[in-house]
Amino acid sequence: MPLSPDYSLKSLFKHLEALPEEKKLVPKKEKAKQRRERWLQKIDVLALAQQAKKAQAKRKATPVVGDMRPLVDALPELSELTAVRKPRAPRKQPKCSVKKKPEPTDYSKMRPAQKRKIIEEEVSRVQELIRNPSYKANPLAAVGQHLLKRMKDEQETDPR
């Protein structure tokens, strides 16, 4: 890509010519290394110039936003926003109830609190049964009646 007339190679490489050169005897390999270094520096300078030109063209191509003053005037000040701020009303609870996981029926899968609750219920039932006068008279018949009553209650609450 040819450079515009603004960029002359001499102006780009002026700083390279300012390097002091000594008149010592330099081996051929060293001279080749120096030539290669100068050549690589020239390439780097050209690449930097091309990047700068690209960046300038990109900046030039971006659209200008224009006058921002009307927008600034239309927006309220930050202090006004904080002063006018109203306390928010508490959020309403969702209408649908949160569905709970069904409690596990397997004793080994229950949490300790669930196990404790079941044990307390069973202990209270046993104590009630022992205090019952019909149990004291005929324990087998009392247990049978209790089981029948319990099964009827379960069928009424959970018809399948």
Give the residue extent of every domain in the chain.
Answer: 9-61, 108-157
Q: Is residue 16 predicted with pLDDT exceeding 60?
A: no
CA angle, residues 130, 131, 136, in degrees to nearest 5:
65
- Pairwise CA distance, residues 130 & 124, whole Å: 10
Answer whether 0.85 is exceeded by the pTM: no
Residues 100-155 have pLDDT tens digits of 777 777 888 888 999 999 999 999 988 987 888 888 899 888 888 878 988 998 88
Q: What are phi and psi of 18, to 5 degrees?
A: -75, -5
Of residues 82 and 16, more confidently modeled? 82
- Pairwise CA distance, residues 86 & 89, whole Å: 9
- Pairwise CA distance, residues 50 & 34, whole Å: 24
pLDDT, residue 84, reads 66
Residues 80-112 have pLDDT tens digits of 777 766 666 667 766 666 677 777 778 888 889
Listed range (27-31, 35-39, 61-65, 140-144) with the worst mean pLDDT: 61-65
Burial of residue 6, with CB atoms counted within 10 A of its CB: 0-12 exposed, 13-18 middle, 19 or more buried: exposed
Q: How confident is the model at residue 5 (pLDDT cuts 50, 70, 90)?
A: low
Q: How confident is the model at residue 66 (pLDDT cuts 50, 70, 90)?
A: low
Category of 109 on φ-ψ map: left (φ > 0), alpha (ψ -120 to 50) or beta: alpha
